[in-house]
Amino acid sequence: MAKNSYKAEDIKILEGLDAVRLRPGMYIGTTSVKGLHHILWEIVDNAVDEAANGFADKISIVLYKDGSASVEDNGRGIPTDIHSKAGVSGVQVVFTQLHAGGKFDNDNYSYSGGLHGVGASVTNALSEWLKVEVYKNTVYSMEFHSYLDKETGKIKSGIPVAPLKDTKVKTTKKGTFVRFLPDKRVFETVEFNADTIIKRIKELAFLNRGLEISFYDERTNHRQTFMYEGGISDFIKYLNAGKNVLYDVPLYASTVKDNIAIEFAIQHTDNYVDSVYSYVNNIPTAEGGMHETGFRSGLTRVFNAYARDKKVLKDNDDNFIGDDFKEGLTAIISIKMQSVQFEGQTKSKLGNPEARPAVESAVVAELSELMKNKRLYKVFDVIIDKAVNAAKARLAVKKAKEIARASKSIEAQNLVGKLSACSGRKPELNELFIVEGDSAGGSAKQARVRQYQAILPLRGKILNVERKKLEHVVQNEEIRSIISALGTGIGSEFDLSNLKYHKVIILSDADVDGGHIRMLLLTFFFRYMRDLVTEGHVYIGMPPLYKVYKGNTELYAYDDKELREKIDKIGKGYQIQRYKGLGEMDPSQLWETTMDPEKRTLMQVTTEDCAEADRIITLLMGDEVSGRKDYIFEYANFNRVDSFKNIKRS
């Protein structure tokens, strides 16, 4: 248990700030908009850690008109006394020493999400200025500035303006207030995205039951507050909005096993795919890990035991497999533990082996206890009935199972006349263009570089796979062609290591039908080949809408704003061609605008928040019309390329 006293002596110093300005990408991953938000998350994480350890219950985030942002919590407050080794206040140490903080032992923080980052000092180092106030009966304040040293020509980062000052102003408040202005000399953009912040703090509020997180955007006067007494049970209800649930109230449990705090919530729907999301110390683990493996094993064990106890499974019957209980499952598993070890390419997979038995044991024990409650008998009976039907389908439709593990029938499918494969044998260099229509496909085949670019034309729209069983999905001819071309298999048998093309590029017209085709493909990839998306292999090609030309000069425009700019550039006497579809482009135009790696613009499809992506797909592709209508009216803008996130040259 973390202790209530928190002093400067508790702060461990591991490294200074010297290298942060030189190589910011090493510390925050990127200087793009994602990196910009990373320095905000460093401060937010510190506040959430105070709440997760029981010292705070309110956090406030504000975006200001001058471009700065602030985070305030009502926790213990950063230590203000003098650190014996550093000879300065704890506040100064925290904001000027890299990897300095109270989270490197377990005395002050039992659990810390902040450990995945590099601390408040990096936020300070990459800001023009930073101001901090600490409330402990009186108000302490300190400021830091980054400025150009005229003698050396280098930026001095995060330099204290003066030592920590006791203002002598009495206060009943407690906690820490931090406000900072990101440095435009570092970041590609210094404009915070309110939607990105709102999504993340809503998730944090779900994961920390009873924590109130308020948000105010001074730029738009938008104000919002999140607080969920039901915690992850409310999270489950949020994710399942628009789905047909099989029981009204999610099953929830919370316990501590082997010094790991474990909580989980589950609810089944009548869908055919599962949606399981896991977190460690409030950090999303999109690639799963030991805790998720233990969770699934525990579910399978305890539900099989229940089925045998109720004589659904006879003595000679085989057990249900995990996939039978996964069908239609929505689940959140959140653990808090010490000494977290992350694995995977994106550091979003939990590697601690001790988490697996602890979580499995907790799931078995807690669900077994819930099974003793007579009021829940119907709930567990419904879950078993769902598994029975899933098992029958699994056993009866062997063809679907064979297809699901990339069976020979699909891998050997004749794609002559469909797929124009590339000659290159290095998947990491190869690209697959999934093209709308035979006409555009023909142009793309002529335009491509055969060594590394493959073309797969689609004849019509693929099946909307939302709420479709696997055997129905794989009966769709276009989907079968995609499975065959990629070589990975689908569903539980998906294997990313067999991917033949490391760039899968959706190329469709810039109209409503093209948008629908993109959404159908993205839904299929997310539901049945999710790692293809989470590992960053899916892209959307961005064909131009216009060609502006005069004489031998040709310029392309991707939206109306850019069209006006190109008209101004080319001058009087111009002509405009409006492309209604990719099929109108000849091969040279398609290559120049959309396929040439040196000139094209690709939008990489990413899922920083898989749970939110799951909800949006259900909303847009499911059966509930009213929710989809509301979403489209609020967010849809079909004419602006700059409304997309993560547009990049590639």
Residue 76 has a pLDDT of 93
CA dist 539 to 142, 445, 487, 578, 646, Å? 45, 18, 18, 24, 10
Number of separate helices (H) and strands (E) present in the chain: 21, 23
Domain ranges of the chain: 8-226, 232-396, 402-543+586-648, 546-578
Q: What is the pLDDT of residue 648?
A: 40
The active-site residue out of 511, 565, 584, 624 is 511
Q: Is residue 436 flagged as an active site residue?
A: yes
DSSP letter at 559? Answer: S
Q: Point out the catalytic residue in the list 436, 478, 559, 608.
A: 436
The arrangement of secondary structure in 8-226, i.e. its CATH architecture, is: 2-Layer Sandwich (3.30)
Token code pair at residue 236: 């489950």
Class of domain 232-396: alpha beta
| Residues forming a β-bridge with 129 | 145, 181
Buried b (16+ CB within 10 A) or exposed e, 553-569: eebbbbbeebbeebbee
What are the backbone angles phi and psi of residue 334, rounded to the nearest 5°? -125, 125
User: Could you tell me the pLDDT band of residue 491, with boundaries at 50, 70 and 90?
Assistant: confident
Q: Mean of the pLDDT values across residues 550-566?
A: 88
DSSP letter assigned to residue 523:
H
* Side chain identity at residue 39, one-letter code: I
Cα 320-298-372 angle, rounded to 5 deg: 90
**Sign for the pseudo-dihedral over CA of 526, 638, 599, 422:** positive
Please report the pLDDT score of residue 584 as a whole number. 82
SS3 420: strand
- Per-residue HEC secondary structure of 458-495 comes to ECCCCCCCCCCCHHHHCCCHHHHHHHHHHCCCCHHHCC
pLDDT tens digits, one per residue of 323-382: 999 999 999 999 999 888 888 655 688 999 999 999 999 999 999 999 999 999 999 999
List own/partner pairs for 490-495 with CB under 8 A and 24 or more apart: 490/403, 490/404, 490/406, 490/528, 490/529, 491/404, 491/528, 492/323, 492/404, 493/404, 493/405, 493/406, 494/528, 494/529, 494/530, 494/531, 494/532, 495/406
Percent of the chain with pLDDT over 70: 87
User: pLDDT digit string (tens) for 238-252?
Assistant: 999 989 999 999 999
Based on the residue annotation, tell me whether 511 is a catalytic residue of this protein: yes
Q: Using CA atoms, how far apart are residues 103 and 116, in angstroms rounded to an integer?
A: 11
Please confirm, yes or no, whether 513 is among the known catalytic residues: yes
> Residue 165 and residue 177: Cα distance in Å, rounded?
14
pLDDT score, position 54? 87
Question: Among 149, 513, 568, 630, which one carries the catalytic annotation?
Answer: 513
- Catalytic residue flag (residue 509): yes
The answer to whether 507 and 582 have CB atoms below 8 angstroms apart is: yes
Bridge partner residues of 145 (DSSP) = 129, 159
Q: Which of 16-20, 38-42, 90-94 has the lowest average pLDDT?
A: 16-20
- Classify domain 402-543+586-648 at the CATH topology level: Rossmann fold (3.40.50)
The mean pLDDT of the chain is 86
Given pLDDT bands bounded at 50, 70 and 90, which one contains residue 213? very high
* pTM greater than the 0.85 cutoff: no
Residue 60's pLDDT band (cuts 50, 70, 90): very high
Catalytic site residue from 509, 559, 562, 614: 509
> How wide is the angle at C-alpha 32 spanned by C-alphas 146 and 121, nearest 5°?
35
Instruction: pLDDT band for 476, please (50, 70, 90 cuts).
Output: confident
